[in-house]
Amino acid sequence: MPSTNPDYALLARQLEALLDEGDWLVNSAQTCAFVMQHVPELNWVGFYLQRQPERLTLGPFQGKPACNPIPFDKGVCGAAARTRTTQRIDDVHAVADHIACDAASNAELVIPVVRDSVLWGVLDLDSPRHARFSEEDQVGIERLVSVFVERTHLPDLFTSR
């Protein structure tokens, strides 16, 4: 039986209280841990950051070691970065260019992190349960990402090489 979804409005208020410093590294690490702790049936949660043009670099995460880097033209994360739209996938094995970091993952939700029209990165959630993420989850987790963006100073992370 699937677990009951959390109260996302309550989680948004709790995350606001947790993210009180504005530091991007602290807040992104805390956000991953918070989501992993409070959203049931996840096996991986993490940020991928845009540090080079058209390419995502692994950032703070919870779960098994993951794939790095991810070009914008590959995978579910690449699609989220390229289109700047949330990708909600019921069965990742049906996505031709899905990048399989952990064989246990079956469903995926990837939310772009955008400030002032600039793509900063994405937040990626994986679940072992097919069709784990409902529209309610999408709206709720997009709200948590909005809290992260509002409460965090998102610096330019582009590297020089």
Distance between CA atoms of residues 95 and 111, nearest Å: 17
Which residue is nearest to ligand SME, using beta carbons?
A: 75
Cβ contact 55:67 at 8 Å: no
Other CB atoms within 10 Å distance of the CB of residue 121: 25
Exactly one of 12, 26, 33, 67 binds ligand SME (CB under 6 A); that residue is: 67
Cβ contact 91:133 at 8 Å: no
Binding status of residue 98 toward ligand SME by CB under 6 A: yes
Residue 50 forms beta bridges with which residues?
56
Among 12-20, 21-29, 67-75, 150-158, which window interacts with ligand SME (CB under 6 A)? 67-75
Of 107 and 144, the one with the shorter C-beta distance to ligand SME is 107
Residues that bind ligand SME (CB under 6 A): 44, 66-67, 70, 75-78, 98-99, 101, 105, 108, 124, 126
